[in-house]
Chains A and B, each alone.
Chain A
């Protein structure tokens, strides 16, 4: 069964909606600014990629937005935007009927995250330290557990099918996408909303700062002088459905999700394997699953965080799969969006689908002295025919996930 992407919704540091994301990336816009979510006075780094000007009430209509954590709000907005983009009909959600002719019981959610609703535990900690735990009520357990992000999306939209939260850290979006594909192929649902969400988190910022992994001024993946990543937040949701169903309803198709590959380094919690061993297996497996040869790949969306280690090892792994002298273009949109954690590979999957649909690929910004000989698409977007795109994601815990997107007859342009 072939699975296709028919809708894209995204809330990112470049704005709300697919168009802000895509046009922003092609224009090389940067989503970085001094952090506003909390005081960074005690840190030696101050930039973040926060979502600014986001109005939950514009998207959260069934539930009370004030009772949701920020990651849930972002995810709901991305989900509603994705459904609208998929033109599933006049209906906004499953409370009123059956958008796209799919019963609520046959429509599910699979979302990834790194930290879930981290702000809820941070609020708990503030109260703990202030001796004000009496102020903690029942809302803590109704908001904090990370699966509440998928729960809130499903309740908001009336989705009664399979509901899965996959907290697979920075590869979570790809993991959720892979799971959604399996659910559809097994015939356990007719439509899946798949993606990822994370809210800007004090905990995450503190941790990466402590590891010395945050860049002070610029995020420059694959540049010799790169100094780290910049933490971000956001959400992306894709509408997935079987190709046959999408054709039947005359849906616009961005791309086919042609395959995926998962693996685990089983090597180190926060550092990738020195030879990129697990990353190689994930890429090779994804190619085999999609029935695609390395030379057929038109574009690689890199994990490309901008940390010295990640980018060096990812380049080694790509070289091992595609050949050391490969000319396949590879870029990192984290140079513009920062690292949106659990949302990152979902946003990158959306961008791969858009690249396949529009035959254009976003650049790696801030690239002045490329390390190595790969084609990192420096600083300027490029038009080229994108037949197949690969999306790489690597996570704490050594989890690796690669997904592959392919042009499909009838792909929108």
Chain B
């Protein structure tokens, strides 16, 4: 197909982050989450969403109180289950943060609602109306809307001068493991208990695993690509990668990408029975002792402690988070604030179970992401690791990252925010990516709360309990990894915003070692 063959010869379309929205046990904005993580606050609390009696584990990352009306007003929320509500709220916040909410409403398509991370932006002036935005999208973009159409964008491009919302469809790519397994199970159990004629049509509509993505699209009028990816702990990162790939390939110009997961009895109990929650194997195991029944209670942590010798499982959490990914020209054309740039990503699968196979897959994912970004290992400023306190996975992740980064691993600052947030499965990597952008902005790298005894021989000595202020040089490129116990491994390289055309910006230097064009 000619357009795709041409695309490889042209400069690569760049993917920028123009906003984010999230709900989490530690706050409902990138800034609030970052503040809590930097302070080492834990989002873990006694679970009240369901009865934990008899389970043995009683705590998790529950969002409480969660009152979606406070965000989305009094529209009818009844058709939405908890996962959908979480996602609808995250999308609402992301659209507002990026300025897309105003565009979709048909009003002024000005810049994002918050200042750029670590710098001053140049938000569009108050006089920027819809007409001006549309003109900007056409004129200010290299190729602009016409390029998008030629490269597989809207097949029926609107006339020049049409509102931006008609020229650019906003897509949605959601990572999740279960969507709502609670809705599915309750639908099934009600039909079994009362008979199939008592089954709930409303619950059935939400029983598909892409239900939350569909509900959020309906709620916010997102008419572009609508996709859901399931990849366990790596889901959110795979979603970000798929969305970025579509933008790069000219198939989309603006996509909300991230993940959503609700805390519910079915998954909580399931992971407990699999021995994967911290507390599931209370007194029976610990990473350092490494064997069933070999460890005493003294060697085991009662909280999630990534990379720690005493780690004993993860803490299950819930939430939703979406980044607004946008083609750089589209973002510039509407005067959006660019918070960061998605420079590269990689994904691999551990076909061989066990630590060695997993570490090799992690290493491949990281190498692919670095190559895609054109970044040398030495240029990576810090790592936001996937590590959750999982006995099986944390060490493999560290081995794999270190293998891919060679000498850089020894001095690499590392955070693992699941120490505070818990394991949010589909949403985890989106939280990581959003907070990595915050760290690129203010240089504060959250410590790994509770980390006392880094596992012996773990090749990431830069994993520390204390929050650090990173030097400027380490605030250019962030590496985010997402590793699932099921073998899904993914890595993402995010860079500080490129230098603005005019006006000073503290972090405005282009990332070192980053190619401007495709090889």
Contact = CB atoms under 8 A, between A and B. Distances in A.
A207 B487 contact: no
Given A160-B350, A397-B226, A269 B206 contact: yes
B348 A161 contact: yes
B276 interface: yes
A264 B199 contact: no
Interface in A257-292: 258-259, 261-270, 278, 281, 284-285, 287-291
Interface string B374-414: 00000000000000000000000000000000000000000
Given A145-B178, A161-B348, A113 B218 contact: no
Nearest to B360: A160
A269 B188 CA distance: 19
A262 B223 CA distance: 10
B210 A168 contact: yes
A209 interface: yes
Given A141-B274, A165-B231, A202 B188 contact: yes
A358 interface: no
A82 to B, nearest CB: 18
Given A129-B192, A266-B217, A398-B218, A121 B187 contact: no
A147 B349 contact: no
A207 B199 contact: yes
A133 interface: yes
Contacts of B200: 210
A262 B205 contact: no
A167 B230 contact: yes
B185 A125 contact: yes
Contact of A263 (B224, B248, B266): B224
A206 B191 contact: yes
Interface residues of A, number: 89
Contacts of B220: 266
B33 to A, nearest CB: 26
Interface in A136-193: 136-138, 140-142, 144-148, 151, 154-155, 157-169, 175, 179, 182, 185-186, 188
Interface in B267-324: 267, 269-271, 273-276
Most buried by B among A104, A125, A262: A125
A147 B232 contact: yes
Contacts of B213: 397, 399
Contact of A399 (B149, B214, B249): B214
Interface string A110-150: 00011110100110111011000100111011101111100
Interface in B210-235: 210-211, 213-215, 217-218, 220-232, 235
Interface in B143-186: 149, 152, 154-156, 169, 171-172, 177-179, 181, 184-185
A53 interface: no
Given A163-B487, A164-B231, A124 B185 contact: yes
A121 B2 contact: no
Most buried by A among B2, B191, B197, B208: B208
Contact of B207 (A94, A126, A203, A263): A203
Given A182-B249, A399-B214, A285 B1 contact: no
A262 B152 contact: no
B351 A104 contact: yes
Contacts of B191: 203, 206, 210
A288 B181 CA distance: 38
B152 A288 contact: yes
Contacts of B65: none
A324 interface: no
Interface string A206-244: 111111000000000000000000000000000000000
A399 B204 contact: no
Interface string A9-45: 0000000000000000000000000000000001100
A399 to B, nearest CB: 5
Contact of A161 (B218, B230, B274, B349): B349
Contact of A185 (B149, B249, B266, B267): B249
A136 B1 contact: no
Contacts of A104: 351
Given A210-B199, A289-B1, A165 B230 contact: yes
A62 to B, nearest CB: 10
A387 interface: no
A262 B486 CA distance: 29
Contacts of B3: 289, 291
A270 B205 contact: yes
Given A146-B209, A182-B249, A206-B199, A175 B227 contact: yes
A111 to B, nearest CB: 10
B386 to A, nearest CB: 16
B5 interface: yes
A207 B197 contact: no
Contacts, number: 270
A269 B79 contact: yes
A137 B188 contact: no
Nearest to A209: B196
Given A136-B273, A140-B270, A285-B154, A203 B187 contact: yes
A105 interface: yes
A202 B190 CA distance: 12
A145 B232 contact: yes
B245 interface: yes
A203 B152 CA distance: 37
Contact of B187 (A148, A157, A207, A270): A207
A291 B155 CA distance: 11
Contacts of A154: 349, 351, 487
B210 A264 contact: no
Nearest to B345: A188
A75 interface: no
A114 B179 CA distance: 12
Most buried by B among A43, A129, A164: A164
Contact of B228 (A151, A167, A278, A289): A167
A396 interface: yes
Contact of B273 (A140, A265, A266, A281): A140
A266 B211 contact: no
B351 A166 contact: no
B361 interface: yes
B364 interface: yes
Nearest to B7: A185
A367 B45 CA distance: 60
A164 B232 CA distance: 11
A128 B201 CA distance: 22
B85 interface: no
B156 A128 contact: no
B37 to A, nearest CB: 27
B185 to A, nearest CB: 6
Nearest to A138: B274
A210 B218 CA distance: 23
A1 interface: yes
B349 A163 contact: yes
B483 to A, nearest CB: 13
A89 B403 CA distance: 33
A382 interface: no
A264 B222 CA distance: 7
Contacts of A202: 188
B155 A281 contact: yes
Q: Which 6 A-B pairs have the closest CB atoms?
A: A397-B214, A167-B209, A207-B204, A264-B226, A163-B349, A284-B155
Given A43-B196, A210-B197, A269-B211, 6 more contacts: A42-B196, A263-B224, A264-B226, A270-B205, A288-B152, A290-B1
17 contacts: A94-B351, A116-B209, A116-B230, A118-B184, A138-B274, A145-B230, A154-B487, A160-B351, A166-B229, A182-B242, A207-B199, A211-B204, A266-B220, A281-B223, A285-B155, A397-B211, A398-B214
Interface of A: 1-2, 42-43, 94, 104-105, 108-109, 113-116, 118, 121-122, 124-126, 128-129, 133, 136-138, 140-142, 144-148, 151, 154-155, 157-169, 175, 179, 182, 185-186, 188, 202-203, 206-211, 258-259, 261-270, 278, 281, 284-285, 287-291, 395-399
